[in-house]
């Protein structure tokens, strides 16, 4: 069973998330010379924008200039659009990091969805030479109230995808409809995955994901790294329906 850590509020959750990212970066830079990080959008952007810069300043050796950052999914809108994950990270987080900053792979939203997915896959192949399935050091994944993660939605055919590691969709139930997403085989190749959720709107889905035994598990329940680590970071509101043992952080 995956480890589940519960924090009193999104603020403590965000601070712990940022510490874990900074520590993972320092360890990877020391051992591999670089840190490969996959970021999700939505509420994760604000958590990281607020907490990661101070965590990096407090962690010697984290060195953002040695990071390769990619996005676990992207909404196909221009970077200036409020729904763009890349655009949100660029203005809210990347702008705060000292130059030269990380190498960033972004989905080219000016292309049509299939071409954007194939271009993004080519970028990943160049960034992970010799790896048939790119193995990220750390993936940060969010969870929607319907149990989706990345742009993998309940009941969607992409949940069955075994061949393409990056895929396009044009029928996302959550707008915008056109998106590019990493698929489960790539997610499950990661060395480490943190699944992050805050707020009462996620509680029912989290109960199903973490305690259910469903024939067709929700998308986030299908994230099970083959040999990597999986850890859940939740706030009290998101965890309020859980009955499984969880690790409660001080003050909860
Ligand atoms: O649409 C998306 O939703 C999920 C969850 O977002 P949240 O705001 O509920 O945390 C996000 O992880 C994904 O990257 C995004 O495209």
For residue range 55-98, what is the model confidence (pLDDT) as tens digits?
A: 999 999 999 999 999 999 999 999 999 999 999 999 999 999 99
User: Which class is domain 15-224?
Assistant: alpha beta
Encode pLDDT of 192-201 as tens digits. 999 999 999 9
Q: What is the dihedral of CA 140, 24, 109, 195, to 10 degrees?
A: 0
Q: What is the pLDDT of residue 251?
A: 53
Encode pLDDT of 199-210 as tens digits. 999 999 999 999
Query: Measured from the CB, is residue 151 less than 6 Å from ligand 1?
Result: yes
Asked if this assembly's ipTM is beyond 0.85, the reply is yes
Q: Which atom of ligand 1 is nearest to the CA of 202?
A: 9
Query: Measured from the CB, is residue 43 less than 6 Å from ligand 1?
Result: yes
CA of 206 to the centre of ligand 1 (A): 14
Task: Please tell me whether residue 197 adopts helix, strand or coil conformation.
Answer: strand
Contact 207, 153 (CB under 8 A): no
Query: Measured from the CB, is residue 46 less than 6 Å from ligand 1?
Result: no
Q: Which atom of ligand 1 is nearest to the CA of 143?
A: 5
Q: What is the pLDDT of residue 252?
A: 46
Q: Which atom of ligand 1 is nearest to the CA of 75?
A: 16
Q: What is the pLDDT of residue 250?
A: 76
What CA–CA distances, in Å, run from 193 to 100, 172, 232, 237, 251? 26, 23, 8, 21, 25
Read off the pTM: 0.98
Residues of the chain with pLDDT under 70: 251-252
């Amino acid at each position: 069973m995956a480890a589940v850590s519960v924090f009193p509020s999104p603020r403590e959750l965000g601070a712990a998330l940022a510490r874990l990212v900074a520590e993972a970066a320092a360890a990877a830079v020391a051992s591999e010379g670089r840190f490969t990080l996959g970021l999700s959008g939505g509420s994760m952007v604000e958590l990281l924008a607020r907490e990661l810069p101070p965590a990096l300043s407090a962690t010697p050796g984290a060195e953002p200039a040695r990071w390769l950052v990619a996005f676990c999914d992207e909404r196909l809108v221009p970077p200036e659009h409020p729904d763009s994950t890349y655009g949100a990270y660029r203005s809210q987080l990347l702008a705060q990091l000292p130059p030269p900053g990380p190498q960033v792979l972004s989905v080219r939203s000016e292309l049509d969805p299939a071409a954007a997915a194939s271009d993004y896959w080519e970028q990943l192949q160049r960034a992970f030479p010799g790896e048939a399935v790119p193995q990220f050091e750390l993936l940060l994944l969010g969870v929607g109230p319907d149990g989706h993660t990345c742009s993998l939605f309940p009941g969607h055919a992409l949940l069955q995808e075994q061949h393409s590691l990056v895929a396009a969709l044009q029928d996302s139930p959550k707008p915008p409809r056109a998106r590019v997403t990493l698929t489960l085989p790539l997610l499950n190749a990661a060395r480490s995955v943190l699944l992050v959720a805050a707020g009462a709107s996620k509680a029912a889905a989290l109960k199903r994901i973490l305690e259910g035994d469903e024939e067709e598990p929700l998308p986030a329940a299908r994230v099970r790294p083959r040999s990597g680590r999986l850890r859940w970071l939740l706030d009290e509101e998101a965890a309020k329906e859980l009955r499984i043992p969880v690790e409660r952080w001080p003050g909860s």
